[in-house]
Structure 1
């Protein structure tokens, strides 16, 4: 990042790096202090020749390793002021429910690249057979028809396609590539890939780690269908957008308010809560859920409400206002694109990665999240996870674990085992009315990918590597993480034992009264400055109806009262002196 100039210098230019969906491609972009997030998103879409830009966004990771989507309605510099260098990742933010309703093939190609990343990093969960089929589509798109003279031995082993890429699944991919993919062009194989991927239940889901009221590790996903929860490889609940009445959060607790129309004449309300690792992670989940719900359910962006949540006695909470078009507006915009179909430059990226491509750090997961403070539920269901008994490709219980994008895909050569509980875990969710949650949705079989409780599982970004020195800011104090380097944690400090048992006592009056007096005094000083000075800067405030009313009803009478008191006291003093 360039050196920060003066705040008054509106012409200061800042640099940022944008990682594209192909790891081998980056963009160097410039922006100014007044540019908002929408400017940068549109700039990247112009560089990629994308017109249907509403489905995409830029993601970044702050100094505390918490992921965020760049807000298009806020200035860029305020969102990334602590980042050095400034790094973004161009990603699909809203996965289209039907990719074939997109108007341009180049937009579908970007969605294909995103789903290919999701499959590689374990977010697109499916059976091993489905994974082999998707992998065969990717191989056909990358290599073309099978050529026995060129494609010898295990030619798939050189490609990074799946997270758990074992030799057996590679053999299945090669078999499908050699027998079923012949004659398919890259365009047709990508179409078949999209047609298959968009039918999976985990399509468009980025798992967020949460815990239920019993402390069980769960994963929460949000897409166009609603909010889904997973335990192991089993989808336990599906809260559809039509049933979600309200979404809010309190501290680390993400809360969903649901209305079930079980009886045509009555509606039953439920409150389900999940605990996130940190308050920042909870705000991120809440914001993602609000954006997804509004994008896929609102008839018009003009009807988007202003949402406030997370407030408490000592905080104002988080205010969110949706910006941009919603899906219905995009689909109803049937006007011509008025341009020829742009050319798509397809490049093989499975066997190479640019070493100079910087990346963003991952989101850590706390090891112990505690459990929910909401009332517990008596509802439970059998969510037992069947583990794999062997490595047969047709075995529906083959464990396939997801990891973050920042990790090298080493799982295909490691003999890792997935610990499972001996008892059927309690399904996620807590409710105010015990036993009223719907039965878990068992539409997914035990042949799906398994979520892994790891430090980086929910992150789709990677550790900072090889950042250019020209992107640094001399004012930024944020340390830059390098690949493979971890910041050392300070040793825990022993808790001092108080010698006086009263030292832990807390008096609300000792805190409240001084704070109240200081606040009241500050307000009085501000009012006097505004009403008694002639500064033009404060002229608009003085002419406000509220200030005029305050002056006439309260300020002037009080001023005359003290003035009369002071005058009478001065006159009495003078009389006493003269006497």
Structure 2
């Protein structure tokens, strides 16, 4: 359909839910506006300058979640949605939120993590949950006052997915206890200012295994139910509230999907692995692939210029082409002065001993150009587990979170065990140390050496990062009957039309004998001549 001149005057209205469910924004946009306009408008209303970490999510008519693409038309993406409802969410969780430039950005990250804790997506032990809950109370109610905070005042606030009397009592105990040394030591949270409590909350949350994880339900090759999580550290799998695998970005060589199968190609020094996960539907699989590609490119690319990825496709499908737009983490840190600009001569040299940012693996010094292709479905769809982590208790479970925020990770059995341990233990919140599964960027290690600590395996991680190189040459696109048929069909009809013009409209000696044949004379009289007169009439009417 051709666009009419009046289309520019049409105004569409949509609703954007903020991180606090009670807060919404009513926005308007024109048909020609792209997703970037709406995201920038919402961030402007929230006084947010660091918009690269945030995104708008919507659910289509089939119940599938999507991130609003900032480079595509809004109306084209949500044309089947009624009403037009978006959710403002954190899309890229920074490895260390304490390095964010502005307090208002950290506050939005805090609101997202508070929401994740409530819906059971931020998986943690009971003591960690109690400390996080106490910090939320401290942020929102201030210091404990016996004249104001009477009875079980924590029960009036929804902090956790499963909030029992035992854990509420522990939260109140931590809220009453004054700070003694480190807030994560034996003391409570009384005496912390709102900003200090918020920073402590972020410090604890960013070290958890499920920090920044939006669980996607999948099944392994045995049909076991798993949850797939993707964040700045790589791709993780969870089963029964326990992390089972962690595929770091430095180990991931390719990501692609075929139908309902999401496939991760891993590259290790000794051998290669291929891991496959079956998604509930093809649309869900494509969503998981898009999320994984965006997270990988955001946290690994030195530059976002011309980053394009192709995957999917089959015998009767066109496949999917995804173009990444926006800044990468490295570009943001370089812009804010938290990371020195890349030295191409040093990066290309073979001298060892220089540690690259683990969240920005050793990618080529020049930006990716062309399609970043991935191969088709391999024979093997699963590899042996890479690393096991012991089971830990949690505070959420049983029920799923709301559709727009994804499923929760935790099972009821894990919750009951954790809370039983919480009932038996009267010890204060244990010390929170940096966890092994996540590697932070080099800037984080340098800027927070005395805050979050460093890992003793930096040398190993650095060597892995040095060896990692993404595949730049796209393999041949998978054969598709539809892609082969359409060009062939058009070529045949074009050839027939050209032949008809040569036979009926020219007087070549070579074609005179052919034109005298009865079949050609009949074809011209019954078909070619009427069609020619019809087209001539239409052209005259048009002009």
TM-score, structure 1 as length reference: 0.63
Residues 437-463 of structure 1, C-alpha deviation per residue, up to 9 Å, x if partnerless? xxxxx968xxxxxxxxxxxxxxxxxxx
- Structure 1 residue 100 displacement after superposition: 1.6
Match of residue 316 from structure 2:
314
Q: C-alpha separation between the residues in 2 aligned to 1:399 and 1:182?
A: 23
- For residues 8 and 521 of structure 1, do their structure 2 counterparts lie closer, same or farther at Cα, with a shift above 3 Å needed? farther
In structure 2, the CA distance between the partners of 1:56 and 1:373, relative to structure 1 (3 Å rule), is: same
- Tell me which residue corresponds to 1:285: 288
Aligned to 2:110: 112
- Which of 217, 220, 232 is the aligned partner of 2:225? 217
| More helix, by proportion | 2
Q: How has the CA–CA distance of structure 1 residues 562 and 47 changed in structure 2, closer, same or farther, with 3 Å as cutoff? A: farther
Residue 156 of structure 1: SS of its match in structure 2?
helix
- Map 1:481-560 → 2, pairs under 5 A: 522-525=490-493
Q: Against the structure 1 CA distance between its residues 48 and 527, is the aligned structure 2 distance closer, same or farther, given a 3 Å change threshold?
A: farther
Deviations 1:40-62 (A, max 9, x none): 11111111111100000000000
1:231 paired with 2:233, answer no
Q: Which has the higher contact order (CA 8 A, sep 6+)?
A: 1
The alpha-carbon deviation at position 11 of structure 1 amounts to 2.3
Conserved 8 A contact 1:122-1:402: no
Q: Matches of 1:98 and 1:382 in 2, distance apart?
A: 24
Seen in structure 2, the aligned counterparts of structure 1 residues 158 and 77 have a Cα distance that, compared at 3 Å, is: same
Would you say the 8 A contact 2:398–2:412 is kept in 1? no
On the 8 A contact 1:121/1:402 being kept in 2, the answer is no
What secondary structure is seen at the aligned counterpart in 2 of 1:242? helix
- Please state whether the residue corresponding to 1:302 is helix, strand or coil: coil
Aligned to 2:396: 400
- The 5 Å alignment of 1:323-338 reads 323-334=325-336
Secondary structure of 1:261's partner?
A: coil
1:568 has 2:521 as partner: no
Q: Deviations over 1:355-393 (max 9, x none)?
A: xxxxxxxxxxxxxxxxx995366846997986xxxxxxx
Aligned 1:361-380 pairs, distance under 5 A: 374-375=379-380, 379=384
- CA gap of 1:91–1:568, structure 2 versus 1, over 3 A, is same
Compute the displacement of 1:235 (Å).
Answer: 1.2
Matched, 1:47 2:45: yes
Q: Does 1:178 align with 2:180?
A: no
- 1:251 is displaced (CA, Å) by 0.3
> Where do 1:294-305 residues align within 5 Å?
294-302=297-305, 304=307
C-alpha separation between the residues in 1 aligned to 2:104 and 2:176? 27
State the number of aligned residues.
399
Deviations 1:109-163 (A, max 9, x none): 0000000000000111000000000000000111111111211111100100011
Q: Residue 248 of structure 1 aligns with which residue?
A: 256
1:275 aligns with 2:220: no
Query: Residues 7, 176 of structure 1: CA spacing in aligned structure 2 closer, same or farther, 3 A cutoff?
Result: farther
Q: Which residue of structure 1 aligns with residue 98 of structure 2?
A: 100
1:458-513 CA deviation, whole Å, 9 max, x = no partner? xxxxxxxxxxxxxxxxxxxxxxxxxxxxxxxxxxxxxxxxxxxxxxxxxxxxxx99
- Partner Cα separation in structure 2 for residue 560 and residue 521 of structure 1: 24
Let me know the Cα RMSD of the aligned residues: 3.4
Deviation at residue 404 of structure 1 after TM alignment:
4.0
Q: How far 1:236 sits from its partner (Å)?
A: 1.2
